[in-house]
Structure 1
């Protein structure tokens, strides 16, 4: 008879476990901007398997120490979201963003709703990729194989469930561009609006006027082809920012 396991998952424990896997991820050149504005260069490791942890903590090796002993074991330093204003790894930049995830309120949210989020577009339309976090406490029952399968499904759902948090100009509230009519952002840019409506960015074609049923179908397609839609929206946002600079 198979042994039955009962597991309680705490976010802190998951974080500790995930840091043990850091050897599986590659350190890349980058830098951290501390809260006081100090720029610290180094080699940074991003957590690829559980990217939501990059929103809270990163590990960096000192560039000078690595250069002095490239084949040695240089100890990495942990930087928390409370230490940083921003950081960059390769060409990917992360900035501190305040966002309350009302759909996923947890105990950790009582401490802070600041997150280090990947910058997707910057200018009049600012957008960021946001991942929800695993539950503070999760109780599961079943065999070890069943436990592992459930845990992998949870991770996959979190990765696939990312949001594109978006603000234009002086908006005070973020919208999830994947669950929002982004055509509203392009009303003052007819060329981009037309390209988006025709699906020329790789998105599902849309139309300026639709009934409720048609809009619901369009939203369903957007979720079905989420990655393609996300890439298309980001491309449109960046083109908009290039052609529509903010007025001073």
Structure 2
């Protein structure tokens, strides 16, 4: 074989290898679907269905807010285990958040408003002066959890696994959790290494947030319902899907 051709092929192969994160391996499937394996977890990117599926491990650390008792939090429910906020996560993955962020954008989900940390103080909380720019914004997404139970695959919206408590006229009211999840991508845009992916309380420290509340509005309490949750240690898949449906 011609030396130049051989050298070119070897260089191309080396470049492809270096382009992958450490411990990650990408595989192309028919129909444009790709998978990326990182440690014990796998991310599947399905452009046709406009969804990203990420395997996770279910964690139950009752010392963290909202896990076993009522608690306020803006830290993510789902995140990458290499992030600074990893102890707070209930669904933890070995897939890097940067790869997940790229995958979300690859299936056509777009950000519309990011809020940098320099603007947090002026925009935090619900007040009489709150306006539209105090809310993170982007394409709405559906976030669901899929796992095996009694030999069958079950799937439910993540909000079905969480209770919410609010104060009304000085009294506590327990209600269904009613988030409006949007993709904003702020944490990746500003290189904020929290590892947070899906956050409550309008938090800008991840890439998907519940923007039914303005930035970091933490008046509401949350609690996971472990009678509905997969058991700790279970491998569960988080599915992030565009609200706009298949392409």
TM-score, normalised by the number of residues in structure 2? 0.27
Considering fraction of residues, name the structure with more strand: 2
Q: Which is higher, the Rg of structure 1 or of structure 2?
A: 1
Q: Which protein has greater RCO, CA pairs closer than 8 Å, 6+ apart?
A: 2
Considering fraction of residues, name the structure with more helix: 1
TM-score, normalised by the number of residues in structure 1? 0.27
